Amino acid sequence: MKSSEIINELEEIISSNETSKDLKIYKGQRKDNILYLKESRSKSGFEFGDLRVEFKNSRIIMEIDTAGGVTNLMKYFYILDNPDKFKSSQIVISKPTRMLHIFVRKNANDYKAHEILWEYLYKSYNSKAGSFKANFMSWDGSDDAKGKVETELCKMLNEAANQN
C-alpha cells in the first residue's frame, strides 16, 4: 500500500471523528505545511508532517514511511531544539504535539532494523522535556493493523480536542 493511500484513509478517519469541526488539516509539501529556515535565502525548510492536524491549542503530526531509514524523523529533534531558526506565521512550534509514526511493512520482519531504530528514537522523543510525544505503529495492510491505527488516531484526536 502506498503512503498516499494511507494518508487518504487517515483523512477519512479524521473527518468522520466528532472532533473534526474544530481542526484544520495540512499535508504534503504545500507552503502551509513547511517550516522555513530563517537563515536560508531560498525556500529551504522541513515538511511538518505527511499529515498534520491543528487544533487551537494542540496538534497531531503523522509520518508514514514505506521503507527503511529514519532521516525524516530526525528533523523533529532539530526543530524542537531550535525553534528560533524557523520562520512561520502559521505554525507555532511550541504547541503541544503528538506524533503518530506509521511504518508500512509487508511482513513481521520487513525492515526490522528500522523498527529498532524507531523504538530508540521514540524513547528519546518522549524523554525530552517539553510537550512533544511520539507513538509508533506498523501497518501491514491487514484489517487488524488498520483497526489499531484507527483506534489510536481517534484516541489522539479526542485527547487533542480536550486540550482546547
Note the pLDDT of residue 89.
Answer: 64
Q: What is the mean pLDDT of residues 53-74?
A: 86
pLDDT of residue 125 exceeding 70, the answer is: yes
Cβ proximity of 37 and 47 under 8 Å: no
d(CA 46, CA 130): 20
Query: With DSSP H G I counted as helix, E B as strand and the rest as coil, what are the percentages for the chain, rounded to 5?
Result: 45, 25, 30
Cβ proximity of 115 and 103 under 8 Å: yes
Q: What CATH number did the domain enclosing 96 receive?
A: 3.40.1350
pLDDT of residue 40 exceeding 90, the answer is: no
Note the pLDDT of residue 133.
Answer: 85
And the C-alpha cell for 34?
A: 513547511
Quick one: which of 87, 81, 72 has its CA closest to 42?
A: 87
Quick one: which of 30, 28, 118 has its CA closest to 67?
A: 118
Count structural domains, the chain: 1
d(CA 145, CA 128): 28
Tell whether pTM > 0.85. yes
Note the pLDDT of residue 129.
Answer: 57
pLDDT of residue 100 exceeding 90, the answer is: yes
pLDDT of residue 68 exceeding 70, the answer is: no
The better pLDDT of the pair 112, 31 is held by 31
Note the pLDDT of residue 128.
Answer: 65
First to last CA, the chain: 34
Quick one: which of 81, 62, 34 has its CA closest to 139?
A: 62
Note the pLDDT of residue 148.
Answer: 92
Note the pLDDT of residue 55.
Answer: 92
pLDDT of residue 53 exceeding 80, the answer is: yes
In this structure, which amino acid lies at residue 149? V
Domain membership of residue 88 as a residue range: 3-162
Q: What is the mean pLDDT of residues 29-49?
A: 86
- In 3-state terms, what secondary structure has residue 73? helix
Phi-psi region of 81 (alpha: psi -120 to 50; beta: other; left: phi over 0): alpha
Summarize pLDDT for 113-122 with one digit per residue, the tens: 877 888 888 7
Note the pLDDT of residue 157.
Answer: 92
Summarize pLDDT for 130-161 with one digit per residue, the tens: 678 888 888 887 888 889 999 999 999 998 88
The better pLDDT of the pair 103, 111 is held by 103
